[in-house]
Amino acid sequence: MALTVSELIDILSDMNPDAEVRLAHQPNYPIWSVAGSVKAGSDDPRDADEPAGYTDEGEPIAADPIDPETAEYVYILESPWESGGYASSSLWDEEEI
């Protein structure tokens, strides 16, 4: 089951607001990384910086920006400036919050 934004907000409301946000992944070889930003997205694999197409004259057509209020997905992006490390496999053993 996927976690929704409202569920995430509810969970985070009980957490220390000054705690660093980390992303733990790969339960069989657990690692973590620092969350760097949050972006709205869709399931369209095209990059928002890529043109949506081209005019008959060959001019690029700008892709429509994604509206965060109607976006299908929210992505938590890894920070490109901070490295992570190994995570505890017990993160996946404990009861969900």
DSSP three-state, residue 39: strand
Task: Give me Rg for the CA atoms of the chain.
Answer: 18
Digitized pLDDT (tens) for each residue of the chain, 97 residues in all: 789 999 999 999 999 999 999 999 999 999 999 999 998 887 766 556 666 778 888 887 777 778 888 888 888 999 988 889 999 988 888 666 6
Instruction: Please report, for residues 10, 24, 37, 70, the alpha-carbon distance to residue 48 in angstroms, rounded to integers and kept in the order given.
Output: 30, 27, 16, 16
Q: pTM (2 decimals)?
A: 0.69
